[in-house]
Amino acid sequence: MKKEDVNTNEAIEESLDQATDAVIMQTEDLSGEASTEEPIGVSGVMNVPVQVTVQLGTTRMNLSDLMQLGPGSLLTLDRQAHEPCDILVNGRVVARGEIVTVGDQYGVRISEISPAS
């Protein structure tokens, strides 16, 4: 396994641990007393669906310009071609990567995991 893969896996595990801690803290009831139930742990959240979005860039335009768009229109984004794209989970940037082709489909090679906040 490459050193980069190990670092990526460690960063992912750390993010999952922090997410689990957040879920456990939310199990406190409204009175502020700790729940007597067992914490759900990481295995309890692994099947929760999340929305993953890859964002190449953004642009701003007037509504009148937007209404003029049609087939063949060109939108210039706020990033240069060599810059990495953002990988978002449920609307929050969690990583950055580069666009690659996998057979006849597009993919993203993760190059950086964002620090957990």
Q: Find out whether 114 and 96 touch, Cβ atoms under 8 Å.
A: yes
What is the structure's pLDDT at 98?
Answer: 95
Burial of 48 (0-12, 13-18, 19+ CB in 10 A): exposed
What is the structure's pLDDT at 108?
Answer: 95
pTM greater than the 0.85 cutoff: no
Distance CA 66, CA 64 (A): 5
What is the structure's pLDDT at 30?
Answer: 46
Per-residue pLDDT of 4-49, as tens digits, reads: 555 666 777 777 666 666 655 554 444 455 556 666 777 878 888 9
Distance CA 116, CA 77 (A): 27
Per-residue pLDDT of 42-68, as tens digits, reads: 787 888 899 999 999 999 999 999 999
